[in-house]
Amino acid sequence: MNNKTPSKDLIDAILSIETEEECIAFLNDICTIQELEKLDQRLKAAILLLDNQTYEKEIEKTKISSTTLSRVSRCIRYGDGGYKNIIDKINKE
């Protein structure tokens, strides 16, 4: 379910982040408040989906639209495994 491949510049920028402070500064500069909120909602929805929560519970907990939730669900089922990989990594910490 590969949409668009990010540019090498964006990939290199993300891979160069070394601290939480750098990450916060970069995300605050590159994203609008609304974009950050949407990214956060999508990640929270993915966490709940991978934890086998119901759509109703996810919408209630994340305030995400059913359309976006459906997209996140499709990404988890048919995507490149990005959500699961990252969520597995953060759950190990």
pLDDT digits (tens, 9 = 90+) for 9-46: 999 999 999 999 999 999 999 999 999 999 999 998 89
Tokens of 90: 């953060």
| Residue 79 three-state SS | coil
Give this prediction's pTM. 0.83
Query: How many helices and strands in the chain, by DSSP H and E?
Result: 6, 0
End-to-end CA distance of the chain: 28
